[in-house]
Amino acid sequence: MTVRAWLRAGLVFLTFVHVAVGSWTLLFPHSFYGRVPTVGDYPPFNEHLFRDFGAMNLAMAVVLGAGAVFLERTLVYVALTSNLVWAVPHLAFHTAHPAHTAGAVLVAALGVIVAIPVVLLVLTRGALPAGERRRPWRR
């Protein structure tokens, strides 16, 4: 598999994760709150917050998906960096607030969600062309 294929596969995987979490949270916020380990440990349930979280995940999926489709260096950098801006604090919170056994599995899964974009960012540097350097005000 080429480096570009690994980049695309990683971006597609991250897109899928955000579509799955975002759709579930946006469409079925009570289910997400009640079934995802540790989420219900922080009451009260707030439907507005959960639906916004779902929509944010879907917006992140759009950016990651665009990166997977176009594989342009700047877009991929922005998509992966945006994902890390969300994923690193999320991992830090769950690491600092250990829960029951499911919490350890969650921290491990969140660690993978941080590691994937870091690895992809390293791969991006050598695998994708920098693209045309244009000034936005010139055509």
Side-chain half-sphere exposure of 5, counting CA atoms within 13 A: 2
State residue 28's pLDDT score.
Answer: 98
CA distance 90 to 97: 11
Phi-psi region of 99 (alpha: psi -120 to 50; beta: other; left: phi over 0): beta
State residue 26's pLDDT score.
Answer: 97
Q: Of 53, 57, 59, 19, nearest to 39 (Cα)? A: 53
Mean pLDDT of 97-120: 86
Cβ atoms of 23 and 50 closer than 8 Å:
no
**Count of beta carbons in the 10 Å neighbourhood of residue 86:** 15
Show me where the domains of the chain are located: 3-127
What's the mean per-residue pLDDT of the chain? 90
pTM flag (> 0.85): yes
pLDDT tens profile 31-80: 999 998 888 888 999 999 999 999 999 999 999 999 999 999 999 999 99
State residue 114's pLDDT score.
Answer: 97
When comparing pLDDT for 104 and 24, which is higher?
A: 24
